[in-house]
Amino acid sequence: MKHAEVTITRVKKYNAGWNRVICFNGVPVAIAKSNNRAATIAGYLMGDKAADVGDGSLRRDLDKNILGGKQ
C-alpha cells in the first residue's frame, strides 16, 4: 500500500493574513489559520486518530470523502 502524502502550504489571503492549506495526495482538503491546527489535521490524515481535530463536521468529511469511510 502506498503511503499518503500530506503537505502543508502557507498561502497569503488577499489583503489579509496568512492561512495554511492542507493537501492530501496533492488535493487541498482543509484550511487552517495556525500551524498547530494544520499539524493536527495533517496528523489525523496520516492516521493519528487520537488527534484532537475538535470539529465534528470536519472529522466526518475527512473520514467520508478523503479517507474512504470510517477507519
Domain range summary for the chain, segments of one domain joined by +: 6-66
Q: Mean pLDDT across the stretch 58-70?
A: 79
C-alpha span between 67 and 45 (Å, rounded) = 8
Q: Report the largest interatomic distance among the alpha carbons of the chain, rounded to a whole angstrom.
A: 42
pTM, rounded to two decimals = 0.83
Strand order in the sheet with 18-24: 6-12, 18-24, 27-32
**Spatial separation of the C-alpha atoms in residues 55 and 40, rounded to whole Å:** 12
Note the pLDDT tens digit of each residue in 7-63: 999 999 888 899 999 999 899 999 999 999 999 999 998 888 788 888 788 888 888
The pLDDT of residue 2:
66
